[in-house]
Amino acid sequence: MKTTPPPASPPPATFQGTCTLVGAGPGDPELLTLKALKAIQAATVLLVDDLVSDAIVAHASPTARIVYVGKRGGCKSTPQAFIEKLMLMAVNEGENVVRLKGGDPFIFGRGGEEVEHLRAAGVPVTVVNGITAGLAGLTSLGAPLTHREHAHGVVFVTGHAKPGDAGTDWPALAAAAQQAKLTLVIYMGVSGVADIQAGLLRGLRADTPVAIIQNA
């Protein structure tokens, strides 16, 4: 009896290009790392977040293709799935792709999701850190995030929960911050500010110092 061999598995995808996630920091080009600057200058395609300043994009090669893929809360944004598709297409075409993100890719920048998607497709990814706004904003005020007398640690937390997610337990976090002397850095807290305030007041004193920073 003649048997038909099973069809061969398709060869794994091969990509000729490269992909780097670069943290652009809070906007001042002088706060870029040298590694970030070199990656931006070497890119043939830049996918640029809405919060990245023009002064940083200006360091790109004149021949680079620049695609703005803005994502800002409360505004019309480029879908994440579409951004990831653009990254894969450009790498597959042999481009040197830089995904340029405000702040740091791995601090509320959805860099983790993009790395997972790219690696699942067989694309190696390099990540270059940037200074996150939660650090730069406080530094601009001369206020340290940690201090031997006042703050033994720092917590970065989002104030904007994913749809369907219960979000942060603000009273519990406030109690922990009070007990352990922690600085709380809350990103994207405008839309939920009333709930955040009410929750924090259940665990922190009403005279706890607070800074509210916009456009860091």
Minimum mean pLDDT range among 5-9, 103-107, 154-158, 159-163: 5-9
In degrees and rounded to multiples of 5, residue 66 shows phi and psi of -110, 125
What is the 8-class DSSP label of residue 186? E
Catalytic residue among 71, 87, 101, 104: 71
pTM comes to 0.85
Model pLDDT, residue 36: 98
Dihedral sign for Cα atoms in the order 64, 116, 192, 131 = negative
pLDDT grade for 15, boundaries at 50, 70 and 90:
low
pLDDT, tens digit, 9 for 90 and up, residues 33-63 = 999 999 999 999 999 998 899 999 999 999 9
Share of the chain above pLDDT 90, in %: 80
- Token pair for 44: 């043939």
* Contacts (Cβ under 8 Å, ≥6 apart) of 199: 168, 169, 170, 171, 173, 174
Q: Of these residues, 2, 49, 87, 207, which one is catalytic?
A: 49
50 part of the active site = no
Q: What pLDDT is attached to residue 75?
A: 54
The one catalytic residue in 50, 188, 195, 207 is 188
Concerning whether 89 is annotated as a catalytic residue, the answer is: no
Q: How far is CA 38 from the centre of its chain?
A: 19
Q: How does residue 77 score in pLDDT terms, banded at 50, 70 and 90?
A: confident
C-beta of residue 158 within 8 angstroms of C-beta of residue 190? no
- Tell me the average pLDDT of the chain: 90
pLDDT at 99 over 60: yes
| Crossing angle between the packed helical segments 111-120 and 80-92, to the nearest 10 degrees | 50
Active site annotation includes 76: no
Per-residue pLDDT tens digits for 150-203: 999 999 999 987 777 878 999 999 999 999 999 999 999 998 999 999 999 999
Question: What average pLDDT does the segment 77-90 reach?
Answer: 91
In this prediction, residue 215 has a pLDDT band, given cuts at 50, 70 and 90, of: confident
- List domains and CATH numbers for the chain: 18-128 (3.40.1010.10), 133-200 (3.30.950.10)
- Please report which confidence band the pLDDT of residue 71 belongs to, taking 50, 70 and 90 as the band edges: low
